Amino acid sequence: MEILNFIIPFIILLTIVVFVHEYGHYYFAKRYGVGITDFSIGFGKEIFGYNDKSGTRWKFCAIPLGGYVKFFGDRNVFSQAEQEELLKQYNKEDRDKLFVTKPIYQRSLIVFAGPLANFLLAILIFVFIYMFVGKDFTPAQINEVQENSPAHTAGIKSGDIIISINDKKVNSILEVSTFINTSSTESINIQIERNDKKMNFSVIPQIIKSEDSLGNKMNKKIIGIKIIPLNNELKKEKLGPATAIFYAIKETWFVTQASFDFVVSLFKGKGDTTQLGGPIKIAKITGQVAQHGFIAFLSIMAYISISLGFINLFPIPMLDGGHLMFYAFEKILGRPLTQRTQEGFFRIGLFLLVFLMLFTTINDLKDLGLF
């Protein structure tokens, strides 16, 4: 039964996030007159489904680890010559339904619409939470600075109020740990307020083996401070629509930027690869978070949705970003890349995705103590 507590919330979350992603593709494809034969949640054998009036097969398949929208006459790889042969197979009416006959800007929007839908879902969730549950605006005051800690060495003192971390304004006591641990730089710039004066400090954090609030192992950055709410008063506000949208967009942008910085740090050889996780780890965390209630579940859904949108923008063939890369080449060259070149890119992309899947699976098994 315990494993069902992880699997069921994970499947529900993934189904919603994948559906929204694929619906983004579907919506713009229909808008531009592209024929759609399949809208699938999951891969492999179909479990159930139905055909709508336009002939699209909506289905749920056995392996719910993704999904796809299949376009009429769809082909993953084509050259200019192959496209011409393809067009000969269809009459005028059917040609207008082909994805490959659409202008580059329409194809690009159809492809980009998937990640865009994921970002919009996250924003919508954050707006809902901020409007009906509230957002924390409790200022962070330093209650204690540990002796010989990075903060103590830098000159930070008890009583200081944290204003910003790495030029990011600290609006809530909850953001202090987040900003420190998502920092991709060796030193962290902290601005504080002391006796009505603003002061800046550069702190080099220590990295320790720790656990998150759910008990999962992690490498944590610490600077040796304990923080409390300013004047011991918690400040949580329910926001109006406009303000909620502002902070929702800001949070979505922060998560996206932090993800990008993390990827860059991996390429530089400075990122913590142990933090990379795959479906097993995501399922575990989703199940843990779901036990804390509906709002917590919505929050993790927003973060997973951002991650899915961000990852799909990687310029790797087989991902949306890979297709956008091909369209950029097509725009520059005035023609599609040759079939041989595109197939070469697809092989490289497949290798990268398989390698990433194996790497994250090994990390997941290590996290469970099975490897």
Q: Could you give the residue numbers annotated as active site?
A: 22
Q: Which amino acid is at 106?
A: Q
Please give the Cα distance from 113 to 20 (Å, whole number). 10
Please give the Cα distance from 107 to 101 (Å, whole number). 9
Which residue in 185, 206, 307 sits closest to 256, CA to CA?
307
Please give the Cα distance from 285 to 266 (Å, whole number). 23
Which residue in 356, 339, 367, 358 sits closest to 85, CA to CA?
339
Please give the Cα distance from 45 to 28 (Å, whole number). 27
- Cα Rg for the chain, rounded, in angstroms? 24
Please give the Cα distance from 117 to 19 (Å, whole number). 10
Give whole-number Cα distances, 1 to 9, 99, 210, in Å.
13, 45, 28
What is the rounded end-to-end Cα distance, in angstroms, of the chain? Answer: 23
Please give the Cα distance from 41 to 117 (Å, whole number). 16
Q: Which amino acid is at 234?
A: L
Please give the Cα distance from 289 to 59 (Å, whole number). 28
Please give the Cα distance from 277 to 286 (Å, whole number). 12
Please give the Cα distance from 14 to 134 (Å, whole number). 26
Give whole-number Cα distances, 5 to 31, 278, 288, in Å.
39, 18, 8
Residue 41's SS3 state is strand
Which residue in 168, 151, 161 sits closest to 193, CA to CA?
161
Tokens of 145: 């600075």
Which distant-in-sequence residues (6+ apart) come within 8 Å of 270 by Cβ? 184
Please give the Cα distance from 41 to 17 (Å, whole number). 10
